[in-house]
Amino acid sequence: MKKFLAPFFSLMLLAACNNSNEAETKSERLALNESASAAFHDFVVKDLNGEEYAFSQLKGKRVLVVNTASKCGYTPQYEGLQKLYKQYGNEQFVVIGFPCNQFMNQEPGSNEEIASFCQKNYGVDFPMMDKIDVKGNEQHPLYTWLTSKEQNGVDDARVSWNFNKFLIDEKGNWVAHYGSRTEPMNEEIVAFAKGS
């Protein structure tokens, strides 16, 4: 009887371990699937004041998402972004800025300093969010979505420097990515902002 029970318990233990591994793998897959199925309008971020900003409020609007910095050669693009927002920002279009300090430490300031800089130098009144990472191990989930075809369903993109621009349509679909050299008043971006 003992000879029979020893292999039986060994098999039971092995099965329990396999079930445990299978459960872990299943939960890992579920976590991946949940993040992969996240839609643009599902994201909730924090603004420069630490308040929650739900992207669900952007439903029905065309959106330009841009990573910004205060001490960059492209920083004067704030002027173009503000002009774009002032001319076309309404119920149908909005610019959302995300300060980032990952490129040569060109955004070292606190949220308060960033807000003051943007307002004082460029009169920025489009929504500015909390400072985040747009690449690397600590990449914000929104930027994982923006840069991964697996998540956004359209294209992979690489944030190469400050002032990369992403266009998202009214339904939360990824439309396009532009690098730093593309000015905010570029005709394609203006056409998008106007909805034409």
102 with 19, same domain? no
Contact, 121 vs 81, CB < 8 A? no
State the total domains in the chain: 2
Residue ranges in the chain assigned as alpha helix (H) = 2-36, 77-88, 111-122, 141-147, 149-152, 187-194
7 with 97, same domain? no
2 with 60, same domain? no
DSSP string, 35-63: HHT--GGG-EEEBTTS-EEEGGGGTTSEE
Angle at Cα 181 formed by Cα 179 and Cα 186, nearest 5°?
90
Per the structure, the complete domain to which residue 167 belongs is given by 40-194
148 with 159, same domain? yes
Count the Cβ atoms, other than its own, within 10 Å of residue 43. 17
Q: What is the pLDDT of residue 39?
A: 94
119 with 156, same domain? yes
104 with 46, same domain? yes
Cα–Cα distance measured from residue 156 to residue 144, given in angstroms and rounded to the nearest whole number: 10
Cα–Cα distance measured from residue 181 to residue 107, given in angstroms and rounded to the nearest whole number: 18
Q: What is the pLDDT of residue 30?
A: 32
Q: What is the pLDDT of residue 37?
A: 56
33 with 57, same domain? no
114 with 71, same domain? yes
103 with 82, same domain? yes
Catalytic residue, chosen from 17, 72, 100, 118, is: 72
Give the long-range contacts of residues 135-143, CB within 8 A, separation 24 or more: 135/102, 135/159, 136/102, 140/45, 140/98, 141/35, 141/38, 141/43, 142/43, 142/45, 142/65, 142/98, 143/67, 143/98
Burial of 72-100, coded b for 16+ CB within 10 Å and e otherwise, reads bebbebbbbbbebbeebbeeebbbbbbbb
96 with 171, same domain? yes
Structure tokens at 94: 């909005």
Cα–Cα distance measured from residue 105 to residue 44, given in angstroms and rounded to the nearest whole number: 26
Q: For residue 72, indicate whether it is catalytic.
A: yes
170 with 99, same domain? yes
31 with 100, same domain? no
pLDDT in tens, the chain (196 residues): 555 445 444 444 444 444 444 433 333 333 333 444 579 999 999 999 999 999 999 999 999 999 999 999 999 999 999 999 999 998 899 999 999 999 999 999 999 999 999 999 999 999 999 999 999 999 999 999 999 999 999 999 999 999 999 999 999 999 999 999 999 999 999 999 999 8
Domain with residue 159: its CATH number is: 3.40.30.10
